[in-house]
Structure 1
Amino acid sequence: MQPARRPQPQALDRRLRLAHMFATSLIALAACPALAQEAPMASPPGDEASVDDQVRFEADKVQYDGNAENVRAEGNVVLRHDTQTVRADNVTWDRESGQILATGNIRMVDDDGNIVYTDSVELTDEFKAGAIEDLLVVLRTGGRLAAERGTRDESGNMTLDYVAYSGCAVEDENGCPRKPSWEVTAARVYFDAKEKRVKYKGATLRMFGIPVLPLPGLGHTSDFRAETGLLIPDFRLGAANGAEISETWYWRIADNRDLALTGTFYTGSLPMLTGKYRHLTNLGAFQITGYATRSGRIPLGTSLTETTVGEQRWRGYIEANGKLQFSPHWSITGHGRLASDRTFLRRYDISRDDRLRSSLNLERIDDDSYLSVAGWVTQTVRVNDPQGMVPLALPVIDYRRRLSFDGVPGRFELQANSLAIVRTAGQDSQRAFAKAQWDLRTITGMGQEVTLTGLARADAYHSAENELTTTATYRGLPGWQTRGIATAAIDVKWPFVGEFFGGTQVLTPRVQVVATPGVRNFEIPNEDSRSVDLEDTNLFSLNRFPGYDRIEDGVRVAYGFDWTFQRPGLKVMTTIGQSYRRIVGKSVAELFDFEEPLILGRLADGEAQLFARGARVRIMGQP
């Protein structure tokens, strides 16, 4: 402990006010049977000191020793200075030295909202400096520091010895103490209150109490905000490039922009440079990532362990995505991916995708309408997959509008859709259709939910070079083709609700009948209805084909029930249903890869949105 300094005039004036307040408090205690009190450090008349310089206090008992020139407060002591507070069981103030000694269950809050818990602390009368033993620091910006001892200077900076730091909670949901899953231990830690930085000396990362990695020279912000500097290196071992080490330099350009540059060095190939730029604007956000290196291509069809490579050349990959919101209704969303060749992503273990899709979508959304103008481009990286057979979709236009009319029951929805697909070495297709749908939903007196649906649609298609499509059922007829579609349906649900095992269960039987006259299917090119499967998610759909190019015609009946059980922490859902279709025409029978009737089932359960599991079953029988 440092020797006491002779108090300066301003500090002495504050101490005199504190002594005057304590003396006044003693008189009040003598005149009043109550022990607990709260009083400000009142300045004498004519004192020009600011109220912010005063120290206020509360205590159950106050004792003043005029000979020893000290004041002692006991029991639920609270000291306040500006926005700082100290709570303790006992506080002793030495009027000569200006030191305040607090002991017992101390909780100290500084100007920045950081909280220090300890059993003993020494402070000045401005709460600025002091020595602390066995402390826990809870930073307002996140994180906790526990130390055997420490000191705090007049600026609020702390030096702590034998420290453990963690950003994890040290208490469970019931308030019981628990070990953090990770922590950083160090021989000494420096906390800069102004810069909000934590610097370590002799740091080690521990996972579940086990030393994992030494971290020499470690430092970070206490609130984990991003800052410019080098990141922790990354080590890997790969079959194609051997051992690799990556080091990233992060540049915090501004609060809304940053750049990360990564150099990766390999034992089996030349280095690679990676850059990632992110930008948050007033309209939205976007990011761009790029890779560049110089290496030889591994021939397609060979193993990564083979040493045969092509001529050294520049190779790379670029990826970008983002969204801009121009107004509450208008927005544009895009993402793009492009690789220099088909083996780059696999060789450097960047992605295992076999097709790289890029799109741009302009949307307008309001309460009753939706407009989308989009385009799609795909790059194939599959072996023996010609790029000329991969479609380019531009434009893809979809417009929908919901309408209701006074005096007319139900709701109408209008839709217009257009699609143009181009292949440089394959079939080209264009499509346009207009659809009108009417839905009337009513609740009967017995609680049944009945929905009546009527749908009409007119299609126009054009295709060329159909013979270049290898799958005959996808080709359609060349030239212009048209068709009309009409569908009528009735859907009835009858939910029953009741108590069950301390929770609530809902049993909902459901029956649906859908009728569609025979439709031209094989005459129409099939671009978006190629993946056909029947499951519980589309069992009650008007058209169980995905997309718009194929229509399920005929008459069919689907029936089943949904069962849901829910109680605190548990939710179980079950769906069982069966579909029976009356086949109309040869074409529809060949479109589906299953026979009727069909029984579908699904069981799923989840708890608190953190754990879920499910199972599906499909039973096929003869019609």
Structure 2
Amino acid sequence: MPRLALILLLWLWPLSLAAQAPATLLADRVTVPPGSDRLVAEGNVEVVFEGTRLSAARITYDRAADRLQITGPIFIRTQAGEVLTAERASLDPRLENGLLRGARLILDDRLQLAADRIDRVGGRYTQLSRSAATSCKVCDDGRPPLWDIRAARVIHDQQARRLYFENARFRVRGVPILWLPRLRLPEPGVSRATGLLIPQLRTTDQLGPGLKLPYFIRLGDHRDLTVTPYLTPESATLEARYRQAYLRGEIEVSGAMTRDSLVGGTRGYFFADGAFHLAGGTRLRFDVETASDDAYLLDYGIDDSDRLDSEISLSRITDREMRRARLTVYQSLRAAEDNDRLPPVVAEARGERRATPAIGGTLSYGAGLQGHLRTLDAGPDGLGDALRAGVWADWHRARVTGPGLVVETRTGLRLDHYAFSPDALARDTTRATAQAAVTLRYPLIRQGPRAAHVLEPVAQLAWSDTTGGPVPNEDSSTAEFDVASLFALSRFPGEDATETGPRAALGLTWTRRGRDGLNSRLTFGRVLRGAENPAFTRTSGLDGTASDWLVAGALDTGSELGLRGRALIDDDIAVTRAEALLDWRTDRLTLAAGYIFLPEDAEEDRSGAVREITLDSRYRVNERWAAGLDMRYDLADGEPSTAGLELGWRNECITVDFSVSRRFTSSTTVQPTTDFGLVVGLDGFSAGRTGAGAARRCQD
């Protein structure tokens, strides 16, 4: 054994020097033929050095030629994750240069390239002659794979992580369907490489069949550009998207220019958004959204929003302070809405601080400035430009008494000055608002063997009053009565409308916390007041001296099922408003469903009742097939608003997604339309796959 170790050390010394690291050789037998300058290792031979592992049946090292002659089956796994197999090979000791016969190269355990011979050059390039590339499973029964690329020569640049094909033929089941003299593709796992992305087929009733050819351009490590021509018989469109990441933020800009026969002339859209972290904890955000006409975004399947908002904001938030300033410009895409009277321009600045006074509790105080601008003079409604400046202070304290009764005390004062343009009917005025409230909570807890139960009755007495002239109600036209606003001092979302007079809020909440992860919550509540507030609409549930009954519940089983619901019930036990949300997730099914009911109310711009069901689901049938369904169904009209179906099929090397959607609604600017889409992707060259589909089965 000492003699064998000395022989191995002397013979492998050149290989170790060439590798600049110790090499390890394992074999059943190692011999040095008498009078020979060769070392022969046979039987389960393995060589390991610098992260590369080679296994073979026989290796002969010729010291004079500094060459390895290897007899297969040969298996090589490099430090970079490459896998090479061959029948025989002639390589240098570092396995960086040489020739492999009857070889196969496997990248990322997904893409395999078979070749008559493989030449490794300089440790960077791998050249394959008469090669076939595929990520599909290849059987020995002679049947061709689902797809493959045949090429006279393929060069793999390990440093650039690129594959270059010469005289390439793309084949499906052995049938050539596309020839390219040159083809460049990224190796598997590369997420950002210049080149053509997956083409998309899209067919609509208005535009006819069309083809999208997105081309990705890598401009550096932190920015890129995607250009997408989209051609149909009725239109020609050029889409573009630019992204750039900075050390403290990022931006994304997208847009399109179109010439079509639907409207005539040039149409398009422009979106941009970004966010940056500035010095001192300040955050800058901007968002730009604009379209050439009301129907463009829907016609080209870009966005289904009926209002676009462009905004720039500065904000700084700490545990004791909040500062924010923003400017928003609105563009309405609704046919029945006048964009000039929205108002289209709204500006706001606000600051707030919190402190702990000597008497205890929390003191919040701040100041704000808000204004909106209309581009036309006041119309019949008399609403013109307006500016509001205000200051406020609020004190809140909660303490627990001996019996366990929680007493919360809150008081506040607000001062606002309103200024209006000369064409408005309203006149400048100053308004002061004082408010106070006492809330009593008495939580009762019961610990059971399977769950903890909490029953909490709550009662609140509140009062507020205002002095000053009336102001138009523009920011509080719709009030929501829910669990969050049940015990709020004001149930209006904005500042223009306020609650006045004495009032009481009563509520009861039952909460269950299960040790098996099953949690539930149920809340009942009602608001009583001394006098009606005309600012609350008829269907808000808050009109009159007594509100409707609020019933809200939630059920949560952890990661599988979530259910939320809310209903307003009047004294006649009739439901005046309701909504429900369901979220259900299993290994095969993902389901999100919703229901909403809103009665007719002209004050909230609803000419008819809204009773609608929404559904968004996806079901994985098996390892290959998946289906998705999304729908909005109007129960009041008895017909769907939108509906869509998706079918997906995948195996280990290809993904096919087919979709069809229908929009049934129509207006003066948009018409009902059907949209078909088809996307076929070769998974062997894609990045970010979440999992492989079922592989093809080979028959014996």
Instruction: Tell me the CA shift for residue 348 of structure 1.
Output: 3.6
Asked if the contact 2:282–2:316 (Cα under 8 Å) also holds between the matched residues in 1, the reply is yes
Q: Say which SS state the counterpart of residue 391 (structure 1) adopts.
A: coil
Instruction: Tell me the CA shift for residue 453 of structure 1.
Output: 3.5
Instruction: Tell me the CA shift for residue 478 of structure 1.
Output: 4.0
Please report the TM-score for the alignment, with normalisation by the length of structure 1.
0.72
CA distance in 2, matches of 1:566, 1:107: 52
CA deviations on 1:511-542 (whole Å, 9 max, x unpaired) are 43333324459933222222222234444444
CA deviations on 1:89-144 (whole Å, 9 max, x unpaired) are 8653343773253768956224xx224275977444221245377867354xxx73
Q: Show the counterpart of 2:162.
A: 197
Q: Show the counterpart of 2:462.
A: 516
Structure-2 change in CA distance of 1:512 and 1:89 (3 Å): farther
RMSD between aligned residues: 4.3
Q: Show the counterpart of 2:125.
A: 157
Q: Say which SS state the counterpart of residue 126 (structure 1) adopts.
A: coil
Structure-2 change in CA distance of 1:621 and 1:254 (3 Å): same
The code of the aligned residue for 1:359 comes to E
Match of 2:149 among 179, 186, 197: 186
Q: Show the counterpart of 1:555.
A: 504
CA deviations on 1:444-495 (whole Å, 9 max, x unpaired) are 7888876543333333334468988xxxxxxxx6431413131324364748
Instruction: Tell me the CA shift for residue 383 of structure 1.
Output: 1.3
CA distance in 2, matches of 1:234, 1:260: 14
Asked if the contact 2:185–2:195 (Cα under 8 Å) also holds between the matched residues in 1, the reply is no
Match of 1:125 among 79, 93, 97: 93
CA distance in 2, matches of 1:277, 1:449: 55
Asked if the contact 1:25–1:62 (Cα under 8 Å) also holds between the matched residues in 2, the reply is no
Q: Show the counterpart of 2:4.
A: 26
CA distance in 1, matches of 2:211, 2:416: 57
Asked if the contact 2:507–2:525 (Cα under 8 Å) also holds between the matched residues in 1, the reply is yes
Please report the TM-score for the alignment, with normalisation by the length of structure 2.
0.65
Q: Say which SS state the counterpart of residue 213 (structure 2) adopts.
A: strand
Match of 2:437 among 482, 488, 499: 488
CA distance in 1, matches of 2:409, 2:492: 21
CA distance in 2, matches of 1:91, 1:496: 76
Structure-2 change in CA distance of 1:573 and 1:589 (3 Å): farther
CA deviations on 1:23-82 (whole Å, 9 max, x unpaired) are 9661579xxxxxxxx9797759xx9x95744551153755324248433265684521xx
Structure-2 change in CA distance of 1:157 and 1:352 (3 Å): same
Instruction: Tell me the CA shift for residue 396 of structure 1.
Output: 0.3
Instruction: Tell me the CA shift for residue 617 of structure 1.
Output: 3.9
Structure 2 unmatched ranges of 5 or more: 138-144, 573-700
Instruction: Tell me the CA shift for residue 165 of structure 1.
Output: 3.1
Q: Show the counterpart of 2:210.
A: 244
Structure-2 change in CA distance of 1:185 and 1:496 (3 Å): farther
Q: Which structure is higher in RCO with an 8 Å CA cutoff and minimum separation 6?
A: 2
CA deviations on 1:171-205 (whole Å, 9 max, x unpaired) are xxxxxxxxxxx997434665321321134644469
Structure-2 change in CA distance of 1:50 and 1:391 (3 Å): same
The number of aligned residues is 534
Q: Does 1:603 align with 2:554?
A: yes
Structure-2 change in CA distance of 1:417 and 1:510 (3 Å): farther
- Residues 328-339 of structure 1: pairs in structure 2 closer than 5 A: 328-339=280-291
Structure-2 change in CA distance of 1:589 and 1:528 (3 Å): closer
Q: Say which SS state the counterpart of residue 558 (structure 1) adopts.
A: strand
CA distance in 2, matches of 1:204, 1:439: 73
Q: Show the counterpart of 1:63.
A: 30
Q: Does 1:534 align with 2:481?
A: yes
CA distance in 2, matches of 1:214, 1:584: 80
Match of 2:59 among 92, 111, 133: 92
CA distance in 1, matches of 2:453, 2:372: 45
Asked if the contact 1:59–1:74 (Cα under 8 Å) also holds between the matched residues in 2, the reply is no
Q: Does 1:292 align with 2:257?
A: yes
Q: Show the counterpart of 2:417.
A: 460
Asked if the contact 1:399–1:416 (Cα under 8 Å) also holds between the matched residues in 2, the reply is yes
Q: Say which SS state the counterpart of residue 153 (structure 1) adopts.
A: strand
Q: Say which SS state the counterpart of residue 533 (structure 2) adopts.
A: helix
Asked if the contact 2:330–2:345 (Cα under 8 Å) also holds between the matched residues in 1, the reply is no
Q: Show the counterpart of 1:436.
A: 393
Structure-2 change in CA distance of 1:253 and 1:89 (3 Å): closer
Asked if the contact 1:324–1:332 (Cα under 8 Å) also holds between the matched residues in 2, the reply is yes
The code of the aligned residue for 2:349 comes to I
Asked if the contact 1:491–1:510 (Cα under 8 Å) also holds between the matched residues in 2, the reply is no
Instruction: Tell me the CA shift for residue 377 of structure 1.
Output: 1.0
Asked if the contact 1:448–1:495 (Cα under 8 Å) also holds between the matched residues in 2, the reply is no
Q: Say which SS state the counterpart of residue 388 (structure 1) adopts.
A: helix
Q: Show the counterpart of 2:224.
A: 258
Q: Show the counterpart of 1:387.
A: 339
Asked if the contact 1:26–1:64 (Cα under 8 Å) also holds between the matched residues in 2, the reply is no
CA distance in 2, matches of 1:255, 1:363: 29
Structure-2 change in CA distance of 1:444 and 1:116 (3 Å): farther
Asked if the contact 2:25–2:45 (Cα under 8 Å) also holds between the matched residues in 1, the reply is yes
Q: Say which SS state the counterpart of residue 345 (structure 1) adopts.
A: helix
The code of the aligned residue for 2:371 comes to A
Instruction: Tell me the CA shift for residue 606 of structure 1.
Output: 5.8
Once the two structures are aligned, what percentage of the paired residues are identical? 18
Asked if the contact 2:504–2:529 (Cα under 8 Å) also holds between the matched residues in 1, the reply is yes
Q: Show the counterpart of 2:492.
A: 545
CA deviations on 1:337-376 (whole Å, 9 max, x unpaired) are 2223333334444333222211111222333211111111
Q: Say which SS state the counterpart of residue 534 (structure 1) adopts.
A: coil
CA distance in 1, matches of 2:178, 2:449: 55
The code of the aligned residue for 1:598 comes to W
CA distance in 1, matches of 2:490, 2:179: 60
Asked if the contact 2:51–2:78 (Cα under 8 Å) also holds between the matched residues in 1, the reply is yes
After superposing the two structures, state which structure 1 stretch, 492-501 or 339-348, moved more: 492-501
After superposing the two structures, state which structure 1 stretch, 389-398 or 61-70, moved more: 61-70
CA distance in 2, matches of 1:466, 1:582: 39
Structure-2 change in CA distance of 1:497 and 1:224 (3 Å): farther
Q: Show the counterpart of 1:314.
A: 266
Asked if the contact 1:560–1:576 (Cα under 8 Å) also holds between the matched residues in 2, the reply is yes
Structure 1 unmatched ranges of 5 or more: 1-22, 30-37, 171-181, 299-311, 469-476
CA distance in 2, matches of 1:90, 1:451: 82
CA distance in 1, matches of 2:171, 2:406: 64
CA deviations on 1:382-438 (whole Å, 9 max, x unpaired) are 213222211144430111112124x54222222322211222244133323322223
Structure-2 change in CA distance of 1:62 and 1:575 (3 Å): same
Q: Show the counterpart of 1:421.
A: 372
Instruction: Tell me the CA shift for residue 585 of structure 1.
Output: 1.2
Q: Does 1:576 align with 2:522?
A: yes
Asked if the contact 2:148–2:171 (Cα under 8 Å) also holds between the matched residues in 1, the reply is yes
CA distance in 1, matches of 2:407, 2:324: 32
Q: Show the counterpart of 1:369.
A: 321
CA distance in 2, matches of 1:413, 1:184: 67
Structure-2 change in CA distance of 1:454 and 1:102 (3 Å): farther
Structure-2 change in CA distance of 1:27 and 1:157 (3 Å): closer
